[in-house]
Structure 1
Amino acid sequence: MDCSYRVRIGSKAICFCDRVVEASSLLTMFERGSTFPKAIYGPEGCGKTTLLKYLVHRVSEVDSAIAVYIDALKGNDPAEAVFSSVRATYEVASAIAVELPIGMALAEKVLQLFKRLHERISLRGKKVLLVVDDVYRAIGLESAERYTKSMYE
């Protein structure tokens, strides 16, 4: 059991466990490299967000990787809407997301985020993991196909 990642619930820090198969599959996909978007779905409260945050945490430990997590449902604070292994991501995200809710604005402007980030730091030779959490709930299922297709550009 990997207790290097803990989930905070109130004042307690609970060990993230029992998702070995899912976490291993996602890490393998990342290591092999894939340019295609992946959608992870399931009932509310089953642990999708925690699994994705764990994935970002693990990838952030790799020197040759950049991990960015965007919560499409967060509203006012870029520090709540974005987690990244690269400090410059917060500055770029704050400059891009001038409208509210910030998470939704960043989800819509994710390509612009990476173009500006590439201007600040070199992405050459690095693997990039982008997680946009709760994006389909934020934009609505009627826009899910359009959004997913835009990730192929």
Structure 2
Amino acid sequence: MVLAISAAGLMIGAYMIPLSAFSAPVVFSMLIASLITDSGPLASLLQTRPLQYLGRISYAMYLSHAVFALPLVAWLLHGNYVFAYQLTGAAAFLLASFALTHFMHEYVEIPCRERIYAWADSLTRDEALPLLRDCPDDRGRQVEKLTGSYVVDP
């Protein structure tokens, strides 16, 4: 926990201390070291369903959030709006971003990833079949189902 708090402090201080951005590898290695045991309050927080979902959709959010962020931020920050109006705009931004992100994840990211995996498997199936049959994980079993040959262990 001490490592996680130290890493957070170093990340926050990166904007205030000149050249501290060069400490990023150290900071992130400290953060990873604090989570490596997969126990403690931060690790249990990261294992909750909402944060697991955010981890799954993070790439789609990275790709799609700017659709709403650029116009909305420019509109809200450059006007003389009251705080409640800005808070409503931020809530609308979050709702619209999550809706677009969910759509992008379900209907673009997952189907494209599955097509790329299928394409890669079709290119390497003949060369990799002997290796994948010996592999105990799911990808090996999937290839065996595709080819129709099952290896029975003695």
TM range (shorter): 0.3 to 0.5
Whose Rg is larger? Answer: 2
In terms of fraction of residues, the more strand-rich structure is 1
Instruction: Determine which structure has greater relative contact order: mean sequence separation of CA pairs < 8 Å that are 6+ residues apart, divided by chain length.
Output: 1
Relative to its length, the structure with more helix (as a share) is 2
TM-score (norm 1): 0.32
